[in-house]
Amino acid sequence: KQEVTQIPAALSVPEGENLVLNCSFTDSAIYNLQWFRQDPGKGLTSLLLIQSSQREQTSGRLNASLDKSSGRSTLYIAASQPGDSATYLCAVRGNYGQNFVFGPGTRLSVLP
């Protein structure tokens, strides 16, 4: 059974810092991995999708990497801004059409 963990659970940084959020999964037989952002009281916004054959994806100040063999993904946020404050969730999908299994999320606060 796939299990997904995220470290740290919460993070508070001053504006302008570069930061890394970590996601680990127990079963490396994944189809893809997706990073989401969730603002309080809102649904999930897709940030980046990495297919199992890819090593990384970039979108603006965000860069996500995937090391399938070690069961890890990282989300790198460059030059953080207060508007980046939210909960960041990673989700992995198995190889056989399974649903997405989510981690518990990392709650990020970027202080002005």
Partner 1 sequence: EAGVAQSPRYKIIEKRQSVAFWCNPISGHATLYWYQQILGQGPKLLIQFQNNGVVDDSQLPKDRFSAERLKGVDSTLKIQPAKLEDSAVYLCASSLRWGEASTEAFFGQGTRLTVV
Q: Which residues bind partner 1 (CB under 8 A)?
A: 4, 31-32, 34, 36, 41-46, 49, 51, 89, 91, 93, 97-105
Between 16 and 42, CB nearer to partner 1: 42
- In total, the chain counts a number of residues equal to 112
Closest separation in Å from C-beta 102 to partner 1 = 3
Instruction: Determine the Cα angle at 77 with ends 80 and 20, to 5°.
Output: 115
Closest separation in Å from C-beta 25 to partner 1 = 12
Q: Cα(20)–Cα(74) distance, rounded to whole angstroms? A: 6
Between 69 and 96, CB nearer to partner 1: 96
Between 76 and 102, CB nearer to partner 1: 102
Closest separation in Å from C-beta 60 to partner 1 = 17
- The full DSSP string for 56-96 is EEEETTEEEEEETTTTEEEEEE-S--GGG-EEEEEEEEETT
